[in-house]
Amino acid sequence: MAYEVNLGHRSAKINILSRNGNKALLDIDGHKYDVDIVMVEKGVYSIVYNGHSYNVELIEGETSKSYIVNTFAKTFNVEIVDAESKYISSRKQGPDAEEENTNRLTPEAIMASRR
């Protein structure tokens, strides 16, 4: 299943095509990445791609789906937009948003939207 990821002003589509241990094949906006990715320490990922080594640090943001990501070059705000986020967002934007927002989502609905 493809996810949407917001990085600053950029919105990218990401899909995990296969994963076996540290090895993963991902598709980001149509570009395939065959990477070796491992969490080396809490919040720190080491990615080896095409012989290049990247060290990426994650700081969890206000929600479990938002991060501040530090790369060697730059710091980004990253947000994962999954089905649940889309669902909540569409309800907020709908014509009955005010009324709908007063109804809290049940855990069952959240789990269902994740599947």
Binding site for other proteins (CB under 8 A): 3, 5, 7, 10, 12, 14, 16, 24, 26, 28, 31, 33, 35, 37, 39, 41-45, 47, 49, 54-60, 64-65, 67, 69-76, 78, 80, 82, 114
Q: How far is the CB of 59 from other proteins (least distance, A)?
A: 5
- Nearest-CA neighbor of 8 among 106, 73, 56, 74? 74
Distance from C-alpha of 90 to C-alpha of 107, rounded to nearest angstrom: 18
Nearer CB in complex with other proteins: 14/88: 14
Strand pairing class (3-7; 23-28): unpaired
